[in-house]
Amino acid sequence: MSADGVIDVLQAGRCDLVMDGGRYGFTHLGVPVGGAADAQALRRANRLVGNADTAAGLEIVLNGPVLSFPQGGWIALTGARFGLSRSSGDGVEWDKALLMARNEQLIVGAARSGCRCWLAVRGGLVVPDVMASRSTFLPASFGGMQGRPLRAGDRLTVGAQSGAPMLCAQPPVRDESLPFRVIPGPQAADFTDTGLAAFFSVPYRVDAASDRRGVRLSGAPVAAMARGSLPSQAVLPGAIQIPPDGQPIILGWDGPVSGGYPVIAGLISADLPRLAQLKPGDTVRFATVTLDVARGLAREAMDGY
Amino acid sequence: MPNFGKMPSSKSNPLIRQVPLAQTQRWRWVTERGLRVETGAFTLARYRAVLAAGLNEVESAIPADGSLLIVLYPRAAPSDALYALLSEDASLSPIVPGRLHLLPVEYGGAVGQDLARLADVAGLSVEAAIALHCSVEYRVMFIGFQPGFAYLHGTPAVLQLPRLARPRTHVAVGSLAIGGAYTGIYPAIGPGGWNVIGRVRANLFDPQRDTPALLMPDDRVRFVRE
């Protein structure tokens, strides 16, 4: 791909990661799909700047970077609202294509609500494909920008321009006060009535130790009935494991493909983008739905894509 | 079609009994996209059968310890053809022998700090424990935990030792270890709770290689003392 631009990282955010739609086809080798924590939000940003859905962008968490655009160019931001400004003083709008002037800087500050946002650049970020994806996989330090978050001084390459940009995109409307909807998991029956009652009625708080591997919760311990150790089973993002201390872990996008802790429940796909926006201190509740309802909500969430 | 309407046990929790649960003893769900199938000793036979069938709704399949997770595409529901396939007798499937790998191992010492204890528990000398560990052929059952971490079946019974009560925060790259019935090799540095008995120099996982994982499901392994 012929490169026609660069972006300079003047200041890195807390953990800015190059991401695309994910790394498919390697779960049997222990490599999860990963990719943007809200693939639809990244896709929206890509479409705003006329990129293919598969183009790589930046996933920004809690505190963003300061980026300089020596050649200027179109960009778009989607996801949670962060403090934002441009060195030109021009306004910054979300879910809209923005034209950066030559040498203009984009200053992404702290998240005002939620946890993650996505930045697409017209042409897409160009990094080497590793196992058929440009997504960063931090647990094994490969993909993206040399397998690591951005650092000050990095220069990102921007690819050749593609299709026509859209003017604006409508983000989905979500009610964040709703409980997270789950399908009971393969070991749901191994928990005591008290444990299940706690899990389904008491709010849990998001721990600071959460990351893309898993969102760790703390609250009333979920007690399991005494049993032997569980053979390792394959899991998916959204699976909720209960380790021996009874504090739930919702597995994230870069979580292990298999694990030996019992899985009490699993988030429905339609609620995975909400998982991307949980930040330390937030509270979470769970409620069960049926498989049919989960598939119906997934179809609804994909309407327009 | 199987009956998905009942809980697997007699437990009666009103909070989760309100919904018709998609849980039977044999097939359960990990989110609405992951159909978990109990596969016992025939996990890889089922895995190959599911992949070979090329069903429209199946995105991937992930083998694990006695179970297989069939991952459906977003919004897809399992077809009757999938249920029919999973109802076939997997024990009749032909065994597919994979590649045989001969892996040189440096046993014991600083790179195998748990070997002496493991030999002691087994009632063997260190030399005899090494000879025993090298005497059998292992089979890759599944890969998980870390990219390229193969779970090898075949560990002689006397050498099987439960995982450490307190996992180590750092286990070196290439550490050969025993965790319960399985032997494994750590492809990357990281935390680990298995009993480390030696070190393998082979590069177990390299994302830049055409075949990133050295050991694949069904492959066979023999350890050779360095």
d(CA A206, CA A249): 10
Average pLDDT over every residue of B31-53:
94
Give the SS3 label for residue B110: helix
Interchain contact, A263 vs B71, CB within 8 Å: no
Of the candidate ranges A133-137, B12-16, B48-52, the one whose mean pLDDT is the lowest: B12-16
Of the candidates B23, B33, B60, the beta carbon closest to that of A184 is on B23
Indicate whether A235 pLDDT > 70: yes
Show residues of chain A in contact with B15, CB under 8 Å.
Answer: 196-197, 200-201, 288
Confidence of residue A305 (pLDDT cuts 50, 70, 90): low
* CA torsion, ordered B64, B68, B74, B80, to nearest 10 deg: 180
Please give the residue of chain A at the shortest CA–CA distance from B25: A186
Alpha carbon distances (Å) from B174 to A67, A201, A276, B148, B196: 40, 45, 34, 11, 10
Name the residue with tokens 């069939």. B70
Give the SS3 label for residue B51: helix
Indicate whether B18 pLDDT > 70: no
Of the candidate ranges A61-75, B36-50, B88-102, B187-201, the one whose mean pLDDT is the lowest: B88-102
Name the residue with tokens 């009935």. A225
Total length of chain B: 226
Interchain contact, B213 vs A30, CB within 8 Å: yes
Indicate whether B34 pLDDT > 90: yes
More reliable by pLDDT, B161 or A304: B161
Comparing CA positions, the residue from A122, A2, A100, A5 lying closest to residue A52 is A122
Residue A272 · residue A291 · CB < 8 Å: no
Burial track B96-121 (b if 16+ CB lie within 10 A, e otherwise): eebeebebebbbbeebbbbbeebbeb
CA angle A121, A122, A125 (to 5 degrees): 55
Show residues of chain B in contact with A266, CB under 8 Å.
Answer: 29-32, 34
In Å, how far from its chain's centre is CA A145? 17
Q: What one-letter code names the amino acid at A224?
A: A
Residue A231 · residue A261 · CB < 8 Å: no
d(CA B179, CA A154): 42
Residue B183 · residue B65 · CB < 8 Å: no
Strand order, beta sheet including B67-72: B27-30, B34-38, B67-72, B58-63
- Does B29 touch chain A if contact means CB atoms closer than 8 Å? yes
End-to-end CA, chain A: 26
Show residues of chain A in contact with B11, CB under 8 Å.
Answer: 189, 193
- Does A291 touch chain B if contact means CB atoms closer than 8 Å? yes
Task: Quote the pLDDT of residue A60.
Answer: 98
Residue A67 pairs in a beta bridge with: A9, A106
- Does B203 touch chain A if contact means CB atoms closer than 8 Å? no
d(CA B78, CA A292): 11
Interchain contact, B15 vs A30, CB within 8 Å: no
Indicate whether B127 pLDDT > 50: yes
Indicate whether B2 pLDDT > 70: no
Average pLDDT over every residue of B176-205:
95
Across all residues in chain A, what is the average pLDDT? 93
Indicate whether B22 pLDDT > 70: no
Comparing CA positions, the residue from B26, B32, B1, B56 lying closest to residue A292 is B32
Average pLDDT over every residue of A176-189:
92
d(CA A222, CA A220): 6
Question: Could you give the count of Cα atoms lying within 13 Å of A293 in the half-sphere of its Cβ?
Answer: 14
Residue A104 · residue A7 · CB < 8 Å: no
pTM: 0.92
d(CA B165, CA B180): 12
Please give the residue of chain B at the shortest CA–CA distance from A28: B62
CA angle A120, A122, A127 (to 5 degrees): 70
d(CA A32, CA B54): 21
Comparing CA positions, the residue from A182, A133, A208 lying closest to residue A294 is A182
Condensed to tens digits (0 to 9), the pLDDT of residues A8-42 reads 999 999 999 999 999 999 999 999 999 999 999 99
Indicate whether A300 pLDDT > 90: no
Residue A57 pairs in a beta bridge with: A19
Residue A224 pairs in a beta bridge with: A191
d(CA B31, CA A134): 26
Task: Quote the pLDDT of residue B7.
Answer: 37
Indicate whether B24 pLDDT > 80: no
Name the residue with tokens 């953990």. A15
Alpha carbon distances (Å) from A205 to A284, A294, B207: 6, 24, 36
Task: Quote the pLDDT of residue A229.
Answer: 76
Quick one: DSSP state of residue B145?
S
Interchain contact, A30 vs B149, CB within 8 Å: yes
Give the SS3 label for residue A200: helix
Condensed to tens digits (0 to 9), the pLDDT of residues A152-176 reads 999 999 998 777 777 677 888 888 7
Give the β-pairing of A233-234 and A239-241: unpaired
Confidence of residue B23 (pLDDT cuts 50, 70, 90): very low
Indicate whether B10 pLDDT > 60: no
